[in-house]
Amino acid sequence: MTTNTASCTAPIRWGIIGTGRIAHTFAKALMNCKDAQLYAAASRTIQKADKFAAEYGFLKSYGSYTELAQDPDVDVIYIATPMSAHYNDVRSCLENGKNILCEKSVTLNCRQLEELLDLAKSNGLFFMEAMWMKFSPVYRKAMEWIREGKIGRISCIKAGFCNHVPYNADDRLFRADCGGGALLDIAVYPLTLVHDVMGVPDHIMAHAHILNGIDMSNTIILQYDDAFAAVDSSFEYPSRNNAMISGSDGMILFGDNFYAASEVCLYDRSLHLIETYTAEDSINGYEYEIEEVMKCLRNGAKESMLVPQKATLEVMQMMDECRRQWGMEFPDE
């Protein structure tokens, strides 16, 4: 096994495993990030890999994920395969000494994640879930206001991520064998927000509409000692997807699509607007997590303090509990 560490001056050589929609979004950001070298791309066929590599300017292309994992010159690999494949794909890369940025949700369950975290630690490798929301300037400003006590003691969070997605039995979103369902794909965003602000809940009450082994829609209530949060996610109906964090001294309100909002507002307890913060992404929003990964690699860090591994594990535990209540298991578990 060869463990890659990044030089303080040389470009960071990136590999991408998987060439679907999210990989294209990530590659567009990567090609515009200073010091990021688009080094290698892998798909299940060499034809797809060659096409993807040519479109974004990768130096190499591979027709198998294992070949890329075994390339000694790759510094870090971004995993963009379906969720059901994350465990095996990440494990192969870690066993070959590669630092990892894995698309969310990072695994199907806590057991898988714990094994990968142990493997990354034992091999001295960087490992992070690609929760790009947490790096957004707007999101970070909201967290700053909370740390500064601008809205006092938090009492309630309401957030949702709901879109109408036409049902397609072949789409990974609707396939249990791909780790489909609204929970792992989109509820992870509002649940991460709640965890960032209030931590692990004392109790969870979760309800879902289950169809063909996956949750089409869900509503989750998270109870704390003196506060609660309500989140929902769905493929069956649309919403504005905003988020509200309410406290004893005021409220924070994200704009529509809170996970990618360009604006967040701070109100006092009488709902008078105190401050508005706006920030437009320089590329597409994925550039911030890319820059964080490269910063960590140059500093020799094995995890990011913005997406600590403990937090990723605790959110996964919350989602495990939701599925336990629904009796929903994936074939690959």
Instruction: Tell me the pLDDT tens digit for each residue of 117-141.
Output: 999 999 999 999 999 999 999 999 9
- In this structure, are residues 36 and 14 in contact, taking their beta carbons and an 8 Å threshold? yes
Q: Which among 117, 68, 65 has a CA at the least distance from the CA of 89?
A: 65
3-class SS of residue 188 = helix
Residue 212 has pLDDT above 80, yes or no: yes
User: For residue 110, what are its two tokens?
Assistant: 């806590």
For residue 276, the cross-strand partners are 265
Distance CA 293, CA 281 (A): 18
Q: What band does 6 get if pLDDT is binned at 50, 70 and 90? A: low
Give pLDDT, residue 8: 59
- In this structure, are residues 252 and 244 in contact, taking their beta carbons and an 8 Å threshold? yes
- In this structure, are residues 295 and 302 in contact, taking their beta carbons and an 8 Å threshold? no
User: For residue 208, what are its two tokens?
Assistant: 């879902």
How many residues are listed for the chain in this entry? 333
Distance CA 110, CA 313 (A): 7
Q: For residue 46, give every residue at least 6 positions away whose Cβ sits within 8 Å of its Cβ, in sequence order, or none.
A: 61, 62, 63
Instruction: Tell me the pLDDT tens digit for each residue of 145-167.
Output: 999 999 999 999 999 999 999 99
Instruction: Tell me the pLDDT tens digit for each residue of 312-330.
Output: 999 999 999 999 999 999 9
Residue 187 has pLDDT above 70, yes or no: yes
Residue 210 has pLDDT above 80, yes or no: yes
AA identity, residue 14: W
Give pLDDT, residue 83: 95
Give pLDDT, residue 4: 59
Instruction: Tell me the pLDDT tens digit for each residue of 264-315.
Output: 999 999 999 999 999 999 999 999 999 999 999 999 999 999 999 999 999 9
3-class SS of residue 186 = helix
Residue 7 has pLDDT above 60, yes or no: no
Give pLDDT, residue 241: 97
Q: What band does 332 get if pLDDT is binned at 50, 70 and 90? A: confident
Q: What band does 333 get if pLDDT is binned at 50, 70 and 90? A: confident
Give pLDDT, residue 45: 97
For residue 246, the cross-strand partners are 156, 251
Average pLDDT, the chain: 96
Q: Which among 312, 323, 69, 27 has a CA at the least distance from the CA of 179?
A: 323
- In this structure, are residues 178 and 83 in contact, taking their beta carbons and an 8 Å threshold? yes
User: For residue 313, what are its two tokens?
Assistant: 């594990």
AA identity, residue 131: M
Distance CA 333, CA 302 (A): 27
Helix orientation angle between 309-326 and 110-122, rounded to the nearest 10 degrees: 160
- In this structure, are residues 98 and 199 in contact, taking their beta carbons and an 8 Å threshold? no
Q: What band does 34 get if pLDDT is binned at 50, 70 and 90? A: very high
Give pLDDT, residue 104: 97
Distance CA 229, CA 72 (A): 46
Give pLDDT, residue 288: 97
Residue 2 has pLDDT above 80, yes or no: no
Residue 235 has pLDDT above 80, yes or no: yes
Q: How many helices (H) and strands (E) does the chain have?
A: 10, 14
